[in-house]
Amino acid sequence: MGFQEVMKALSDPTRREILNMLKSGAMAATQIADRFDTSGAAVSKHLAILREAELVRTRREGKYIYYELTASVLEEVMLWLQGLKEESK
């Protein structure tokens, strides 16, 4: 995990919304794209950034690509943030 890539991915509200959507489980790329008023290509770019930051992983089923959260990276980020909070006390 590259910390800069994670922070870049988390800095965008659309990507944060995608992560929020994936809390309930894996979703096909088309399902994710349908929830936004932007082009499929724009959503695909957001998904690529999330994948590069290792915040999501993919699996292919037939012609569909499913995205799901990668909990280990999110846990690392949360532990780091918690450490910052504890140090500031």
Question: How many domains in the chain?
Answer: 1
Q: What is the CATH number of the domain that holds 71?
A: 1.10.10.10
pLDDT band, very low/low/confident/very high, at 89 (cuts 50, 70, 90) = low
Q: Cα–Cα distance between 29 and 16 in angstroms, integer?
A: 15
| Mean per-residue pLDDT of the chain | 90
Contact yes or no for 68/25 (Cβ under 8 A): yes
pLDDT band, very low/low/confident/very high, at 18 (cuts 50, 70, 90) = very high
Buried b / exposed e over 14-27, threshold 16 CB at 10 Å, is ebeebbebbeeeeb
Whole-Å CA distances, 48 to 35, 42, 51: 17, 10, 5
Q: Which candidate, 57, 55, 28, 54, places its Cα nearest to that of 43?
A: 28
Q: Which domain holds residue 9?
A: 3-87
